[in-house]
Amino acid sequence: DIQMTQSPSSLSASVGDRVTITCRTSQTISRYLNWYQQKPGKAPNLLIYAASSLQSGVPSRFSGSGSGTDFTLTISSLQPEDFATYYCQQSYSTPWTFGQGTKVEIK
């Protein structure tokens, strides 16, 4: 199984901050990496697919980069509605695994 390691596990940031979350995989997955946002009590929402493609309807302040084993989700200017937990997920090989999540909290 491909192991997914996100860092940090949590972070505190202020509105307007640039935020970066990292996801590292235990083996190379090309660009088969997706990012989801989950708010409390809600289902996850797809933000980025194929490492850097923005899902329709997702604000452009979200961006993704990386390939191989190292990937990044960046929020260019954190907004109040962005406080949530973020998960990476690999779609390279079954079982389809997720990172443990990064909780973004208000500073």
- Nearest distance, CB of residue 98 and other proteins, angstroms: 4
C-beta closer to other proteins: residue 59 or 77: 59
Chosen residue from 10, 96, 105, 106 binding other proteins by CB under 8 A: 96
Sequential DSSP letters for 9-29: SEEEE-TT--EEEEEEESS--
Cβ neighbors of 43 (< 8 A, separation 6 or more) are none
Chosen residue from 49, 62, 71, 86 binding other proteins by CB under 8 A: 49
- Nearest distance, CB of residue 86 and other proteins, angstroms: 11
- Is residue 3 within 8 Å of 88, Cβ to Cβ? no
For residue 64 the two structure tokens come to 């993704």
C-beta closer to other proteins: residue 44 or 76: 44
